[in-house]
Chains A and B, each alone.
Chain A
Amino acid sequence: MTAESNVLLEVKDLHKSFGDTEVLKGIDQQIKKGEVVVVIGPSGSGKSTFLRCLNRLEEPTGGEVIFEGRNICDKGADINLLRQKMGMVFQQFNLFNHLTILENIMIGPKLVKNSSDEEDRAQAMKLLERVGLADKANEYPSRLSGGQKQRIAIVRALAMNPDVMLFDEPTSALDPEMVGEVLAVMRDLADSGMTMVVVTHEMGFAQKVGTRVLFMDEGKVLEQGTPQQIFTAPQHPRTQDFLSKVLNCI
């Protein structure tokens, strides 16, 4: 029972089809509090779809996603309430272009929580300081670099005090020189004990920060284990093939 109560997010036989194309072919996972689960795999393997099913941005066509004991696919589940506890960071940042940085961060707490304006502002500023962008509070997103936008996007999700953070290829749209600053924030977040699910092509991050690595291909989790196991002794031939391509690209 104690071991089970540690499970934050449970996925049972998850299926997802777009029309006739089955993208997820039955995924079973348990994600415990404090885990940093890194999902790797080739393009089109269903990694992002898997992540987007976790907060129902994609509607699963079969199976269950149980978050903190509630099935989020239930008709009666208050998905908006559950999503407040699941932060998400997107590849394209998706900052609200018509709002300042501070407004971007405060709009979530303001609309869905019962906290005062001053509390929200103080919390937003604290988070901005944590990622080193307090001086940008009153700028609009169009004035920021990609790396800065993504750090703000992380802060915006954190402002809701989520129990888990979902990252959908957070560094794939960045110039190479900006990848580091975003990964540093994510690493800091992981060190603080945040439960994270990260879809990424950053193998270095998977190795150094991940507590568990999932290798996905063709809609299934083919192999999983510690970064040590996956990167030094992959068992499945597809994993071996994939890693040999991404790790020895020169």
Chain B
Amino acid sequence: MAEIFVKYYQYFLQGTRTTIVISLITVLMGFLLGCLIALMRLAKNPIANGFAKLYITVLRGTPLLVQLYIVYYQLDFIPYPKVNVWGIALERALPCCIALSLNSAAYVAEVIRAGIQAVDIGQTEAARSIGMTGSQTMLRIVMPQAIKNILPAIGNEFITMIKETSIIQYLGISDLMYNNGIVVTATYNPLPCYYISAIIYLILNLVAGKGVSVFERRLKRSDR
């Protein structure tokens, strides 16, 4: 295993780099879009609400791989920028990021909705009773408390997403799993390659999980 890594480490590192960049973009876009969908899901407006429900149902009810191909071919009219970031061609990577974050947003939206609804309605009533507007109440009172319910589950979703990015190898993006395949072909020795990739994914997720738990602890101040 060590031999293979020493000889082919550049493939693994370059693949890891792609995986990290795509994960970061996906997690960020997925989170922002998820917030938007969650707000629509909680809105009283029947159109917004209905759209959010439909969105969540469809995106959770179809395979990610199918969504990836549909987004890739459906959105091929978009003039993606032909630039490289950290050695990654955005023109190829962005459609993948869009597909993954559209999918992630559906799960994030449900997590956020549940987190907001878990905040005692009395908090809202108290805020409204001293004259706060609906949005002041959401921003100053409900969200700061909801975030504590949301964060652990969002952390899960982030970790899931980092692993799920491995699916983009099917579109020929040279992420960790794609490069893993190259090394397998070159060495005819698959098992050590997969062990190396597994360890790299594990390290990425340990770091991501650590980041989330540090953030969680900072928010725990008022629970003492």
B126 is an interface residue with CB less than 8 A from chain A: yes
A102 is an interface residue with CB less than 8 A from chain B: no
Known A97-B145, A107-B140; contact A83-B129, beta-carbon cutoff 8 A: yes
Per the bound structure, the CA–CA distance linking A82 and B130 in Å amounts to 9
B130 engages A140 (CB within 8 Å): no
Per the bound structure, the CA–CA distance linking A112 and B224 in Å amounts to 30
Flag A35-68 by CB within 8 Å of B: 1 or 0 each.
0000000000000000000010100000000000
B136 engages A157 (CB within 8 Å): no
A57 engages B130 (CB within 8 Å): no
Known A98-B144, A107-B140, A143-B224; contact A80-B132, beta-carbon cutoff 8 A: yes
B84 is an interface residue with CB less than 8 A from chain A: no
| Chain A residues within an 8 Å CB radius of B127 | 96
Q: Which B residues from 203 to 224 make CB contacts under 8 A with A?
A: 221-224
| Chain A residues within an 8 Å CB radius of B60 | none
B122 engages A92 (CB within 8 Å): yes
A214 is an interface residue with CB less than 8 A from chain B: no
The closest CB in chain A to the CB of B219 belongs to: A98
| Chain A residues within an 8 Å CB radius of B224 | 140, 142-143
B222 engages A97 (CB within 8 Å): yes
Q: Which B residues from 105 to 151 make CB contacts under 8 A with A?
A: 120, 122-123, 125-133, 136, 140-141, 144-145
B130 engages A157 (CB within 8 Å): yes
Give the most central of A88, A107, A111: most B CB within 10 Å: A111
| Chain B residues within an 8 Å CB radius of A86 | 129
Per the bound structure, the CA–CA distance linking A99 and B132 in Å amounts to 16
A196 is an interface residue with CB less than 8 A from chain B: no
- Closest chain A CB from B127 CB (angstroms): 7
B144 engages A94 (CB within 8 Å): no
B133 engages A94 (CB within 8 Å): no
Choose one: B122, B130, B145; the contact of A87 (CB below 8 Å).
Answer: B130
A160 is an interface residue with CB less than 8 A from chain B: yes
A98 engages B129 (CB within 8 Å): no
Per the bound structure, the CA–CA distance linking A112 and B126 in Å amounts to 14
A90 engages B122 (CB within 8 Å): yes
B131 engages A96 (CB within 8 Å): no
B131 engages A57 (CB within 8 Å): no
| Chain A residues within an 8 Å CB radius of B130 | 83-84, 87-88, 107-108, 112, 156-157, 160
Per the bound structure, the CA–CA distance linking A98 and B224 in Å amounts to 11
A81 is an interface residue with CB less than 8 A from chain B: yes
| Chain B residues within an 8 Å CB radius of A153 | 126
Per the bound structure, the CA–CA distance linking A143 and B222 in Å amounts to 9
| Chain B residues within an 8 Å CB radius of A92 | 120, 122
The closest CB in chain A to the CB of B148 belongs to: A98
Q: Which A residues from 145 to 201 make CB contacts under 8 A with B?
A: 153, 156-157, 160
- Closest chain A CB from B159 CB (angstroms): 26
Per the bound structure, the CA–CA distance linking A97 and B141 in Å amounts to 9
The closest CB in chain A to the CB of B145 belongs to: A98
B126 engages A96 (CB within 8 Å): yes
The chain A residues found within 8 Å of chain B, CB to CB, are: 55, 57, 80-84, 86-88, 90, 92, 94-99, 107-108, 111-112, 140, 142-143, 153, 156-157, 160
The chain B residues found within 8 Å of chain A, CB to CB, are: 120, 122-123, 125-133, 136, 140-141, 144-145, 221-224
In the complex, 8 of the A-B residue pairs with CB atoms within 8 angstroms, ordered by the A residue number, are: A57-B128, A80-B128, A80-B131, A81-B131, A88-B125, A88-B129, A112-B132, A143-B224
Closest 10 CB pairs of A and B: A84-B131, A94-B126, A94-B122, A108-B130, A88-B129, A83-B131, A140-B222, A80-B131, A98-B144, A112-B131
Instruction: Please give 20 more A-B residue pairs, beta carbons under 8 A apart, in addition to A108-B131, A140-B222.
Output: A57-B128, A80-B133, A83-B128, A90-B126, A90-B129, A92-B120, A92-B122, A94-B120, A94-B123, A95-B126, A96-B123, A96-B141, A107-B130, A107-B140, A111-B140, A112-B132, A140-B224, A142-B222, A142-B224, A160-B131
